[in-house]
Amino acid sequence: MSEVRPARELRHAKHAGEGFVNSSAFEWLSRAGFVARAAIYAIIGVLAFKLAIGSGGKLTNQQGALSTVANQPFGSLLLTLLAIGLGGYATWRLFRAALGRGPEGSDSGFERLAALVSGLAYGALCVLAVEILIGSGSSGSTSPKSSASGVLGWPGGTWIVGAVGLVMIGVALYQAYKGITQKFLEESKTEEMSPGVRKWIGRVGTVGLIARAVVFGLIGVFLIKAAIEYDPKKAVGLDGALAKLVNQPYGSVLLGMVAAGLIAFSLYSLSDARYRKI
């Protein structure tokens, strides 16, 4: 009898979760998340592109993008909307990780794991946006270097940092694969698109995912380098990965290309807000 009750409660919880996932409120919240993701990548991409062409700009990461929004006119309102969107995106990803499927498709084990990691990452961004709103974001944030430094001091810390680096490289390769093969279109309601819209989304999605793969791949490589050399200073975030491009031959050209790709990813995210299968 004691074993039947937990099983019954688990079924009820799963049923309640599926009911929420199938609701229109959940769909609207999830789609708001894609708009928030688009805004963040647009800010990062535009600032990097302006730097590449010598028109001001700077290299920044997701936290910097949120701070940029906060410093605009009506910044608090805009950042509040971003926080809601980021929370919605995180909720969508975490529910997909927990339930393993949505109302329009099914997820593999790898997709559920990816959803969990993505949900946690965007949940952290949502918390960061709230911290900036209440004025504690600058003191509560951590850099990749400080995070790597702390983990390297753990037992087996070098293996953990190296493993995270390998995961980032794996994610980068998967992003590149999805972009090159345009497999990402399978996640969209292509039947609702006109041929012209489908072609346009295919192009910006391919360019955007490849640019994102470059950035994630660089982050992964330098995490592995930090683990091998036991040097947390080698670890970089998104802004650090872009900086590595600048230091290469034809660095401004490379940075401009990747920045343009991140802007394309922003446009693709906006298309997801309309056509993504939730």
In a domain, residue 8? The reply is yes
Q: Give phi and psi for 241, each to the nearest 5.
A: -65, -40
pLDDT value, residue 215: 95
In a domain, residue 219? The reply is no
In a domain, residue 120? The reply is yes
pLDDT value, residue 12: 58
Higher-confidence position of 155 and 52: 52
pLDDT value, residue 103: 47
Q: What percent of the chain has pLDDT over 70?
A: 85
Can you tell me the distance from the alpha carbon of 57 to that of 103, in angstroms, rounded to the nearest whole number?
Answer: 42
pLDDT value, residue 110: 73
In a domain, residue 186? The reply is no
CB atoms within 10 A of CB 2: 5
Could you tell me the end-to-end alpha-carbon distance of the chain, in angstroms, rounded to an integer? 38
How much is the pTM?
A: 0.86
In a domain, residue 269? The reply is no
The domain tally of the chain equals 1
In a domain, residue 146? The reply is no
Q: Return the closest-CA partner of residue 257 out of 198, 212, 199, 217.
A: 212
Sign of the C-alpha dihedral computed for residues 208, 213, 219 and 222 taken in this order: negative
pLDDT value, residue 5: 59
In a domain, residue 206? The reply is no
Residue 29: half-sphere exposure toward Cβ, Cα within 13 Å? 17
Q: Is the pLDDT of residue 17 over 60?
A: no
Q: Structural domain of residue 37, as residue ranges? A: 1-141
- pLDDT tens across 169-178, in order? 998 999 999 9
Residue 78: exposure state from Cβ atoms within 10 A (0-12, 13-18, ≥19): middle
Can you tell me the distance from the alpha carbon of 188 to that of 197, in angstroms, rounded to the nearest whole number?
Answer: 12
pLDDT value, residue 104: 46
Q: Is the pLDDT of residue 139 over 50?
A: no
In a domain, residue 22? The reply is yes
